[in-house]
Structure 1
Amino acid sequence: MTAPLVVAQIVQHLAPGGIETMALDIQRKARKPENVHIISLEGTMPEAIEHWPRLQGMERVHFLTKPPGLSLTTVTKLAQLLRQLNVDVVHTHHVGPLIYGGVAAKLARCGHIHTEHDAWHLNNQKRRWLVAACFHLLKPSVAADAELVATSIRQHIPLFTPSVILNGIDTDKFQPSGQAEARSKLNLPLDAAIIGCAARFTEVKSHNLLIHAFSRLPENTHLALAGGGELEHELKNLTRRLNIEQRVHFLSVIDDMPGFYHAIDIFCLASKKEGLPLSPLEAQACQRVVVMTDVGGCREAVDPESGILITAGSTQELETALKAQLSSGINKEKQESARNFVVNHCNLERMISQYDDLYCGRSI
């Protein structure tokens, strides 16, 4: 029997987000967790813990403190670390890790798997040339986290046929539970309909559009926002200008994400751009219906029987969809359909099994 491979997942920085959560989940649920490392190009452990308490006490997590701009020293440090850890396969996420991890894998004589998480950035010519050059020179085995992402790669980078491995979430961790207790822990009203969003406060996530649409909903509706980011102050000011600050709850970064989903009734993501996001999968696994913009791989992350997809950038469509879910989406049949969709199509065990096949050089 062959020994399990040692895998190093490489991310740009360890901060709350879908890619980073995926890396942590792959490590946590691996057949041999002690053989899976996570390497962050940027930052330090204390900095990461400050923004993401979940990392406290975690093992096999490494930080290279990469400075801004191109850093050849970081490539050298990474290659040395890969040799020190006896890594067999490097698994990179996104462009920065693709470059640094790919070169370091060559120097350390490791295998190389790369996951492409977004389709939209390949529309930029310079980014497309960079990714294509990395694919052809570094020759990683490429996986796309959604069929739409795979289509974009095939369209923009000829001769590459990526595998498709849909993002998966832990359906044992994310499952239904009591709402009243969850709301009490977050100091949310017990008798209101609550719409929730979990995303970084950045321009691409369109929180401002969500807040504007929400401002037109009935007075007994509340909005719970989990996350942090550079736009937090601006968004709080917006709620004051719209005179809805008493109905909008800024909850900061939440470590207990299942509890957040249990507390809400409807999950909403109004992003301008996405890959295949994890948050709607987590929400649906907790039996929460969703409203999402039809961008990136979002269509592949939404149960067609219970979820609603809308055009990005349309406040009117978002308002209409939220009202529709408020009037008909909070029922047992739709909630069960949402969870069944995730269990059957987007579960973590299936995703890890498929990546294991790639690590071992097997086709999927």
Structure 2
Amino acid sequence: MTASPVEAQPVVAQIVQHLAPGGIETMALDIQRKARNPSNVHIISLEGTPSEAIEHWPRLQDMERVHFLTKPPGLSLSTVTKLTRLLRQLNVDVVHTHHVGPLIYGGIAAKLAGCGHVHTEHDAWHLNQQKRRWLVTACFHLLKPAVAADAELVAASIRQHIPLFTPSVVLNGIDTDKFQPADQAAARNKLNLPLDASIIGCAARFTEVKSHHLLIDAFSRLPDSAHLALAGGGELEHELRKLTSRLNLDQRVHFLGVIDDMPGFYHAIDIFCLASKKEGLPLSPLEAQACQRVVVMTDVGGCREAVDPQSGILIKAESTQALETALKTQLCSGINKEKQASARNFVVNHCNLERMISQYDDLYCGRPL
């Protein structure tokens, strides 16, 4: 009897460093959720425990086929042993690793367990660091994964620094059924945001690389009718709250914490902004645009590939002046139906989740893209 397409799907283990709110982790969850056969897709977190992960990300509460290895700090040979044993127990056919730590541990365990190995590079900038470049090059040559890049810029960096490897390009994709337009007033009421303001939103961890301080500084020069909504958490939250108070912005900047209902966040805002110093190909601007929100982004990493050229604005990184000017431009002209429709059409046509999963399925089965 010929197996059906669902039965023929390999068992896949997505391996991440830790399960905390972020683009890579969201991507792994979405691949599991929208797979042709979700029961064949596992997610393995090298670090952390279930209770720690759920505390920071309530979305994980009801997740199935999610495993935690509680890796201690530093090099851990016992984690390789635990991971190898788990891959065998789950009858995993293909390991899919994300970033350097999972590449090392997942790649070695895949070899020991006799699994195939697909690896996704999410950043171009880290290969500029010599030690990191040597490490990744050694892993590629010794572990021989099928390498995918989440943006053409990332692929170009791999070709430049590791010339014997030609990666496939699999653009990040998002669920355009989940992220689609909805009522703005209802979303604002749910988040206790003002109904009559123009709201700029940012969803990112409060870390130095995301440059929230520059965003708040630029925002302080915008009209009083504008508000800023910040979704996320992180080590810089206290410092950013102090900056907000120092600039007398407490009534206009809203710290919303980690939000599980991200479509609702995008529905509530008018403009999405990410002022990062470094990025791969981020998911958040794709999600925002799918909800018909125009964006302002720094032109770093693969961000250019994630922005609709008809409605979005790209600026140079670490420039408060450029950020201020772009936000004012979007406040004046970006909030209109034509630009909003263009933003969504860009994501539907170029960066949808179904296309991404189909391409990864091809890689899992050893088919060229």
TM-score in terms of structure 1 length:
1.00
> What is the match of residue 40 of structure 2?
35
Q: Find the partner of 1:294 among 283, 293, 299.
A: 299
- Per-residue CA deviations over 1:114-138 (Å, capped at 9, x if unaligned) read 0000000000000000000000000
* Counterpart for residue 272 of structure 2: 267
Distance 2:87 2:109 in 1: 8
Q: Which whole-Å deviations, capped at 9, do the CAs of 1:216-274 have from their partners, x for residues lacking one?
A: 00001000000000000000000000011110000000000000000000000000000
Give deviations 1:183-209, integer Å, cap 9, x for gaps.
000000000000000000000000000
Query: For the residues of structure 2 that align with 1:331 and 1:108, how far apart are their CA atoms?
Result: 54
Q: Where do residues 58-69 of structure 1 align in structure 2 (5 Å cutoff)?
A: 58-69=63-74
What's the Cα RMSD here? 0.4
Establish whether residue 285 from structure 1 lines up as the match of residue 290 from structure 2.
yes
Q: CA deviation at 1:294?
A: 0.0
* Aligned position for 1:12: 17
Q: State the identity as a percent.
A: 88
Letter in 1 for 2:362: D
Which residue of 182, 188, 207 maps to 2:212?
207
Quote how far apart the aligned CAs of 1:158 are: 1.3
Alpha-carbon distance in structure 1 between the residues aligned to 2:18 and 2:353: 22
1:158 aligns with 2:163: yes
Q: Distance in 2 between matches of 1:229 and 1:215?
A: 22
Of 352, 356, 362 in structure 2, the residue corresponding to residue 351 of structure 1 is 356
CA drift at 1:57: 1.5
1:177 matched to 2:160? The reply is no
**Secondary structure of 1:246's match?**
coil
Q: Could you tell me which of 107, 110, 113 is aligned with 2:112? A: 107
- Stretches (4+) displaced over 4 A: none
Aligned-pair distance for 1:353?
A: 0.1
Which amino acid counterpart does residue 177 of structure 1 have in structure 2?
A
Q: Distance in 2 between matches of 1:210 and 1:338?
A: 22
What are the within-5 Å matches in structure 2 for residues 299-314 of structure 1? 299-314=304-319
Q: Which residue of 1 aligns with 2:121?
A: 116
Q: Partners in 1 of 2:135 and 2:87 — Cα distance? A: 24
CA distance in 2, matches of 1:349, 1:162: 20
TM-aligned CA deviation for residue 4 of structure 1: 1.7
Superposed counterparts of 1:20-59, under 5 Å: 20-59=25-64
Amino acid at match of 2:62: G
Please, which runs of 5 or more residues in structure 2 have no aligned partner? none
Query: In the aligned structure 1, how far is the partner of 2:228 from the partner of 2:187?
Result: 15
Deviations 1:44-63 (A, max 9, x none): 00000000000001110000
> Residue 186 in 1 paired to residue 191 in 2?
yes
AA aligned to 1:4 is Q
Q: State how 1:320-339 maps to structure 2 within 5 Å.
A: 320-339=325-344
Separation in structure 2 between the aligned mates of residue 83 and residue 123 of structure 1, nearest angstrom = 36
> Could you tell me which of 140, 148, 151 is aligned with 1:146?
151
Q: Give me the whole-angstrom Cα distance separating, in 1, the residues matched to 2:298 and 2:63.
A: 35
TM-score computed with the length of structure 2 as normaliser: 0.98
Cα distance in 2, alignment partners of residues 57 and 20 from structure 1: 16
Distance in 2, Cα, partners of 1:210 & 1:148:
25
Q: Find the aligned partners of 2:267 and 2:184 in 1 and give their Cα distance.
A: 5
Work out the CA distance in 2 between the residues paired with 1:194 and 1:8. Answer: 39
